């Protein structure tokens, strides 16, 4: 979401005639887009701010804006901690940045929504719903990004058409809870939106991120099955394998509910790729509760698991009311155990790709080899004759937990949709 927000701001600045510099010291404006969803990302933002301070002290002459999740409704504390920052902007509050810099008149008051990001390759992110209404006890997002607000379907279509015109072949529709699209307006849902985008010529693929199990309806799953351009790939964060922990997290579903969604997907699309996010060391997590997470991973066999150690986010219910009582070394051990299991499962799932031919969208070339992704979102490195943006058939020769290796199939032709 932050990548998409940065691209949007860059598009607005571009429209005003600003250009990007290679070096911070050559810039007259620096915008630091921050994420505080985990402690580590917050520490990185703070460290980057420290570097900006030093540059300013050494005489660099730029205005500094901090944007994103680090900025809440009140910024007094941030102003006290970082007095050298010129402006703090909440996520997507682009207009405030232009006002603060005295550029508001130039924007014609219509920065959002008509400044579409310039494509930077064959794939692009497109936010379709902002904010989150779920208030999981550990999560800062609803406090920083506000309530769920769906964008107008026609405006999204216009943005995707603009991107496709600029060479984009694959769009990922974004939301913190992407299947909630349309719930706040009572308008078209995610399935309707994907259907509307499907007829854009030269758009080859549609993906969506991130799923919230409760909002995932059979109608949306059917749309994935029935619309050829929509990839059979689901990222559904389960966050924990124990119902007791899910309740402490206030995730709003149980493991049987989650299992039911996975079964529904697999009954409609047996080869769908399913990934998940999972937190270890949440408040009060016992050995037995952690073991339930491992058991769930063994049972579902996700294509990929994004594991994270719990860290309290100030301002959340968990930070205020629940004890962060799992010692750091235990959290590390549990994450390690999860990653070992994940690697074993991913390897065995990826090995099944060996000897098959996969449709790959070519994203670039590195060290003399092309790379791109399958419809199931597997990263593939391969040899052969092709070009960025083409959709080619690749024969998979080797697989590891992290990627597939192969060669373009002899009879592969560029697929122009
Ligand atoms: Fe945060 Fe996701 Fe829960 Fe929303 S659904 S509160 S974004 S974890």
pLDDT of residue 106: 59
* Res. 414: pLDDT tops 60: no
Whether the per-residue pLDDT at 57 is higher than 70: the answer is yes
Band of the pLDDT at 417, cuts 50, 70, 90? Answer: very low
Which of 2, 91, 130, 132 for mutating ligand 1's site (highest number of atoms within 8 Å of CB)? 132
Please report the pLDDT score of residue 97 as a whole number.
Answer: 84
Band the pLDDT of 15: cuts 50, 70, 90: confident
Q: Report how far residue 180's alpha carbon sits from residue 184's, in angstroms, rounded to the nearest whole number.
A: 8
Sorting pLDDT into bands at 50, 70 and 90, what band is 415? Answer: very low
* Ligand 1 proximity of 212 Cβ (cutoff 6 Å): yes
Query: Is the pLDDT assigned to residue 114 strictly greater than 90?
Result: no
User: Is any atom of ligand 1 closer than 6 Å to the C-beta of 140?
Assistant: no
Residues 6+ apart with CB under 8 A from 123: 168, 169, 170, 171, 172, 361, 363
Q: Decide if pLDDT at 144 tops 60.
A: yes
What is the pLDDT confidence band of residue 96, given thresholds at 50, 70 and 90?
Answer: confident
* pLDDT for residue 116: 85
The answer to whether 297 and 280 have CB atoms below 8 angstroms apart is no
Q: How many Å lie between the centroid of ligand 1 and the Cα of residue 410? A: 45
What backbone torsions phi and psi does residue 247 show, to the nearest 5 degrees? Answer: -70, -40
């Amino acid at each position: 979401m932050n990548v998409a927000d940065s691209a949007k701001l860059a598009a607005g600045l571009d429209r005003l005639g600003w250009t990007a510099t290679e070096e911070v010291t050559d810039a007259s404006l620096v915008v630091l887009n921050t994420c505080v969803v985990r402690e580590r990302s917050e520490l990185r933002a703070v460290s980057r701010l420290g570097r900006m301070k030093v540059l300013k002290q050494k005489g660099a002459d730029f205005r500094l804006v901090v944007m994103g999740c680090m900025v809440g409704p009140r910024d007094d504390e941030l102003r006290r901690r970082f007095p050298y920052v010129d402006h703090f902007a909440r996520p997507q509050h682009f207009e405030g940045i232009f006002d603060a810099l005295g550029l508001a008149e130039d924007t014609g008051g219509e920065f959002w929504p008509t400044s579409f990001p310039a494509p930077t390759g064959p794939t692009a992110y497109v936010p379709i719903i902002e904010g989150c209404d779920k208030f999981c006890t550990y999560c800062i997002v609803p406090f920083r990004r506000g309530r769920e607000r769906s964008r107008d379907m026609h405006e999204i279509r216009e943005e995707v058409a603009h991107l496709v015109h600029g060479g984009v072949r694959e769009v990922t529709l974004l939301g913190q809870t992407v299947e909630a699209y349309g719930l706040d307006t009572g308008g078209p849902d995610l399935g309707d939106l994907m259907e509307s985008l499907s007829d854009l010529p030269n758009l080859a693929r549609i993906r969506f991120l991130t799923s919230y199990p409760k909002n995932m309806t059979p109608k949306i799953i059917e749309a994935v099955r029935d619309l050829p351009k929509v990839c059979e790939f689901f990222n559904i964060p389960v966050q924990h394998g124990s119902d007791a922990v899910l309740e402490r997290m206030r995730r709003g579903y149980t493991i049987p509910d989650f299992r039911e969604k996975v079964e529904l997907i697999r009954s409609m699309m047996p080869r769908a790729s399913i990934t998940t996010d999972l937190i270890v060391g949440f408040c009060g997590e016992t050995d037995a509760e952690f073991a339930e997470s491992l058991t769930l991973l063994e049972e579902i066999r996700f294509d990929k698991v994004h594991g994270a150690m719990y860290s309290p986010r100030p301002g959340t219910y968990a930070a205020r009311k629940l004890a962060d009582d799992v010692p750091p070394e235990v959290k590390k051990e549990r994450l390690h155990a999860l990653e070992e299991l994940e690697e074993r499962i991913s390897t065995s799932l990826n090995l099944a790709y060996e000897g098959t031919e996969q449709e790959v969208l070519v994203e670039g070339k590195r060290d003399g080899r092309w790379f791109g992704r399958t419809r199931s979102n597997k990263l593939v490195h391969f040899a052969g004759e092709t070009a960025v943006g083409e959709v080619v058939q690749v024969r998979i020769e080797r697989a590891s937990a992290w990627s597939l290796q192969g060669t373009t199939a002899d009879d592969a032709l560029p697929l122009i949709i």
